[in-house]
């Protein structure tokens, strides 16, 4: 199960960073529909970095990384729920996928034994 946690964490961190990157690129090249694309990029980059660091901590058997990983998974599920609450079908589908990844990461870490 530890490999599942590491894989999910890497996928999630990469996806969050890429999403932030698309926001800043589309906001810079075109008419921005969000308040400040650069600030949002920084927020998503911090979120992705936090997730990458907790995933790295789990890979090094650091039990202190488990709780932040759980909290970040909860934020991912909340993000998925927010997307599902949207009006367009594509956002609802993406929200379901995001939420499923968050739940899968949470369950995978629960099933990963604590190192003594």
Residue 90: inside a domain, yes or no?
Answer: yes
- pLDDT tens for each residue of 101-111: 999 999 999 99
Is residue 18 assigned to a domain?
yes
Residue 14 lies in a domain: yes
Domain of 18 in residue numbering reads as 2-110
pTM for the complete prediction? 0.85
Total number of domains constituting the chain: 1
Q: Is residue 115 part of a domain?
A: no
DSSP-assigned letters across all residues of 24-74 = HHHHHHS--SSS-HHHHHHHHHHHHHHHHHHHHHHHTT-GGGHHHHHHHHH
Q: Each residue of 70-99: pLDDT tens digit?
A: 999 999 999 989 889 988 898 899 989 999
Residue in 54, 52, 107, 55 with CA at minimum distance from that of residue 77: 107
Whether 23 contacts 48, CB under 8 Å? no
Report the chain's mean pLDDT, rounded to a whole number.
Answer: 89
């Amino acid at each position: 199960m530890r490999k599942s946690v590491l894989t999910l964490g890497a996928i999630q961190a990469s996806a969050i960073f890429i999403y932030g990157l698309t926001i800043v690129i589309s906001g810079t090249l075109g008419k921005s529909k969000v308040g400040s694309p650069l600030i949002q990029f920084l927020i998503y980059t911090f979120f992705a970095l936090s997730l990458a660091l907790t995933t790295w901590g789990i890979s090094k058997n650091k039990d202190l990384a488990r709780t932040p990983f759980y909290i970040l998974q909860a934020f991912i599920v909340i993000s998925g729920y927010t997307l599902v609450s949207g009006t367009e079908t594509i956002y609802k589908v993406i929200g379901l996928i995001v939420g499923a990844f968050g739940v899968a990461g949470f369950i995978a870490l629960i099933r990963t034994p604590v190192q003594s």
